[in-house]
Amino acid sequence: MGKWVIKWYKEGRFTNEKFKIFVRCGWVTKEEYKELTGEDYVEVE
């Protein structure tokens, strides 16, 4: 499921903040988030 999300992120369709949604949904791992964005994923309460 995450492959298209990652592709679209690389194309600039999502900001880092919006990309976090896919980590919460389980479509992207925290490790993938860090690898792609360069930032640690921090859970928002």
Residue 3 CA to residue 8 CA, distance in Å, equals: 9
Residue 26: per-residue pLDDT = 94
Per-residue pLDDT at 15: 96
Q: Tens digit of pLDDT for each residue in 7-26?
A: 999 999 999 999 999 999 99
Query: HSE of 43 in the Cβ direction (CA atoms, 13 Å)?
Result: 5
pTM of the model: 0.86
Query: pLDDT, tens digit, for every residue of 24-42?
Result: 999 999 999 999 999 999 9
Which single residue is written with the structure tokens 């976090």? 20
